Amino acid sequence: MGWKINNVEFENRKVRKTHLNPFCMKPEFIETETYAIITNIDQSILKLNPVIRVDGFEFVSISLTDLELNFSEVFNYPRRSVKPDLLISGDQPLFLNLISHDFREILNRYFFIHPGSEEENPDCEVYFLKKIDPVLTEKGDGYILIDESSLAENNICKFSNSIVKKLRLLKEGPVSLMGCFSIFKEERKVISKNISFLRPVLGRYQIEDSDITLFKKIYSENFFVPDLLKLAVDSFELSYEAPNSKMKFVLLMMGLESIFNKSSQDPISHILSRHIALLLGKTKPEFEELFQTVKKLYKTRCDIVHGSTERKTLLKLEKNIQNELNQLESLTRMVISELLWLNDSGNSGLNKESLFEYLNKKGFEG
């Protein structure tokens, strides 16, 4: 069943109502840009552009002045028709003197501009993922037809979510997807957005030149996750959304258990420690160090899951949880990466039996 706005009939179309114009005019087609907001990245993310441009996307840098003038609606802040007053004061860094006080406060709240600390300086640019080619959006009397922009927005959200997962697997860093939006290219009016603003965190995800080769492998259309690793990869990704350190710890350890747990008379802590040490250790001393590390981490997992109430255990857990969580996240990433490359190197039938056979044949010389 169709319906009408100002005598324009629509059926099964995505339409956004605007003000009704009594003077019916022919609709116009307006170029619309589509972006994704990926947080906690710096200018090194631009190094990925030669790899991802073939799929119609690229990272772009946006100055803070440009952000206020052309993207402020994304942050629920009214657009300005003139350049904001410069913040001229002796105690502020030069690159903060590009935006209004009000917009600066908005950005601090939404994380884009760091307040400055001993760890890092405030930002002077932000980086968005952009669909290279704009789409045409039909705008008529009292309506905006958003079929094409919605499709483009869905595509960039799907693509950016995949990129974030690959970046997390590539190396450590607090990279996150905040959301996506569509905006008229000339008018700079946001016509749709799906954004969840995140709390500010310290740190930046940085791409080194040496990371590009590995990223190309992860990005390749031939890249796939074997069944053996699917739960581990899902647990690893889910750990980024965990509400606290203990939950994240358990999720990461669960992922490792899904790979290495096997019916045996030996306790799981021994099996897990031994096989992770065999997989990652290159020498006998490395094997022994990794074995003890994983065994210690698994004990922490047991203290969390079994809900130990001993005061001494609780105090130790609270003191060490963050350092041990960092160790576990790094180990989990290395295990998954190592097994993905092992699978990619001709062991496409990698399963638990073939993995255990491979590990049991490994040894150390000298």
Contacts of 311 (CB under 8 A, 6+ apart): none
Q: Mark whether 53 and 156 lie in a shared domain.
A: yes
Q: Residue 233 corresponds to which amino acid? A: V
Supply the pLDDT for residue 81. Answer: 56
DSSP secondary structure, 319-356, as one string: HHHHHHHHHHHHHHHHHHHHHHHHHHTT-TT--HHHHH
Residue 209 lies in a domain: no
- Of all residues in the chain, the percent with pLDDT exceeding 90 is 38
Residue range 75-106, pLDDT digits in tens: 888 876 555 444 434 444 444 446 788 888 87
Q: Mark whether 190 and 248 lie in a shared domain.
A: no
Residue 202 lies in a domain: no
Residue 1 lies in a domain: no
Q: Mark whether 120 and 73 lie in a shared domain.
A: yes
- Of all residues in the chain, the percent with pLDDT exceeding 70 is 78
Domain closes at, from 195, 214, 244:
195
Residue 102 lies in a domain: yes
Domain closes at, from 152, 173, 195:
195
Q: Mark whether 44 and 105 lie in a shared domain.
A: yes
Separation CA 290–CA 284 (nearest Å): 10
Contacts of 29 (CB under 8 A, 6+ apart): 136, 137, 138, 139
Q: Mark whether 159 and 260 lie in a shared domain.
A: no
3-class secondary-structure state, position 69: helix
Region 133-147: what's the mean pLDDT? 80
Q: Mark whether 186 and 40 lie in a shared domain.
A: yes
Range of the domain at 104: 15-195
Residue 247 lies in a domain: yes
Domain closes at, from 195, 212, 233:
195
Residue 208 lies in a domain: no
Residue range 290-330, pLDDT digits in tens: 999 999 999 989 888 887 667 776 677 777 788 999 999 99
Provide Rg for the chain, Cα atoms.
25
pLDDT category at 29 given cuts 50, 70, 90 is confident
Q: Mark whether 151 and 280 lie in a shared domain.
A: no
Q: Mark whether 327 and 185 lie in a shared domain.
A: no
Q: Mark whether 273 and 182 lie in a shared domain.
A: no
Q: Mark whether 158 and 284 lie in a shared domain.
A: no
Q: Mark whether 117 and 264 lie in a shared domain.
A: no
Residue 330 lies in a domain: yes
Residue 54, pLDDT > 70, answer yes
Residue 167 lies in a domain: yes
Supply the pLDDT for residue 123. Answer: 59
DSSP secondary structure, 129-178, as one string: EEESS-EEEEEETTEEE-HHHHHHHHHHHHHHHHHHHHHHHHS----EEE
Number of structural domains found in the chain: 2
Q: Mark whether 165 and 248 lie in a shared domain.
A: no
**Among 23-32, 65-74, 94-103, 292-301, which range has the highest average pLDDT?**
292-301
3-class secondary-structure state, position 187: coil
Supply the pLDDT for residue 40. Answer: 87
